Amino acid sequence: MLTIKKIATVALLSLSLLACSGGTSDEPNTSLQSTEKIKWKLVTSWPKNFPGLGRGPETFAKYVNEMSGGRLEITVYGAGELVPGFEVFNAVSSGSAQMGHAGAYYWKGKIPAAPIFSAIPFGMNALEMNAWLHHGGGIELWRELYAPFGVIPFTGGSSGVQMAGWFKKEINSVDDLQGLKMRIPGLGGEVLKEVGGLPITLTGGEIFTSLQSGAIDATEWVGPYNDLTFGLHKAANYYYHSGWHEPGTMLEFTVNKDAYEALPDDLQKIIEVATRAVNQDMLDEYTARNHNAMKQLIEEHGVQVKPLPQDVLIALKKATKTIIDREIADDPVFAKIYASYAAFYEDVKSYHALSEKAYYENR
């Protein structure tokens, strides 16, 4: 419900936005009517309109604009347009942007437990992450984690199971990982280090040239749909599956708490429901587009697609346990959130063995 207090706050916020942005309202007079048009900035960690990842926030902005009858207009900025891709969380926290779209694992340095809300090596896939977050208590823990920063997280889409990555040489055993310089961020990188590799963190834009020049021997990115766009097949020929390190990466919409609370109830709900719709739409886009991209990579570019050997997977799984145990010991917040994650995972995995997994095998 639109309370007088809220109307006043929205009016003030809208006026202050006008002041900041040099006048973006369509109607310049300051009557209550004119203040109904609110303009927000949404900063992202992706190149503008990048397939999947970048299209999600664009779709979101369109939904919100249309559902609000133009009362809430959101402008989407690509990485580097307003702030660098890794500064999205800080921008939303400080209020210099009202919203962000990124992946929670990018904030690991600031918030050690954040990666649980994007991807855990050998963890839950997209279907399971969504169930835990929306019906298993996950999103409540996520909101608690971001509350001290004045940031409210919403689910922001998923890539589905990613690919294990691009390698310049074949991986036949754990020996081939020794000293391997691979672009792989977050917990996945720490797992690689545990088995003898050298994880390196690079932004998306730096990957191709580093791989081509030989500065790195391997890289993970997303999956065929995005990797083809980046041209990674021109720099490495072996493409390994499946993405043990990111089995269902969840993206996030983040909203500045003060800006959100200043909105009337209907616009708050419009934001919530639009994030939810986009959350599924992105996964649908990846699911629909990955195959054709993979076909192009194989048939037109001669890429060799291979499964990681079982002994490599076993070593990575063992190392994952070591890394997770270390995170649990280091941070009681990580321990608390991971306990919820792990309990849900154990349950859903046991049911999916009879349903999703069994069906993939029987069909």
Window 290-309: residues binding a second copy (CB under 8 A): 290-292, 294-295, 305, 307-308
243 binds a second copy (CB under 8 A): yes
- Min dist. Cβ of residue 100 to a second copy (A): 20
Q: Which is nearer to a second copy, 143 or 181 (CB)?
A: 143
- Under the binding rule (CB under 8 A), the answer on residue 344 touching a second copy is yes
- Pick 48 or 241: Cβ nearer a second copy: 241
**Position among 198, 313, 333, 335 found at the interface with a second copy (CB under 8 A):** 313
The reply to whether 283 sits near a second copy by the rule CB under 8 A is yes
By CB under 8 A, residue 143 contacts a second copy: no
User: Under the criterion CB under 8 A, does residue 289 sit at the interface with a second copy?
Assistant: yes
The secondary structure of the chain, three-state, reads CCCHHHHHHHHHHHHHHHHHHCCCCCCCCCCCCHHHCEEEEEEECCCCCCCCCCHHHHHHHHHHHHHCCCCEEEEEECCCCCCCHHHHHHHHHHCCCCEEEEEHHHHCCCCCCHHHHCCCCCCCCHHHHHHHHHHCCHHHHHHHHHHHHCEEEEEEEECCCCCCEEECCCCCCHHHHCCCEEECCHHHHHHHHHCCCEEECCCHHHHHHHHHHCCCCEECCCCHHHHHHHCHHHCCCEEEECCCCCCCCEEEEEEEHHHHHHCCHHHHHHHHHHHHHHHHHHHHHHHHHHHHHHHHHHHCCCCEEEECCHHHHHHHHHHHHHHHHHHHHHCHHHHHHHHHHHHHHHHHHHHHCCCHHHHHHHC
363 sits near a second copy (criterion: CB under 8 A): yes
Q: Which of residues 53-72 bind a second copy (CB under 8 A)?
A: 63, 66-69
Can you tell me which of 192, 274, 297, 337 binds a second copy, judged by CB under 8 A?
A: 274
CB of 211 to a second copy, least distance (A): 21
Residues 153-172 that bind a second copy (CB under 8 A): 160-161, 163
Ranges within 25-44 binding a second copy (CB under 8 A): none
Indicate which single residue of 24, 75, 229, 242 sits in contact with a second copy (rule: CB under 8 A): 242
Interaction of residue 266 with a second copy, rule CB under 8 A: yes
Task: Mark residues 190-219: x for contact with a second copy by CB under 8 A, - for none.
Answer: ------------------------------
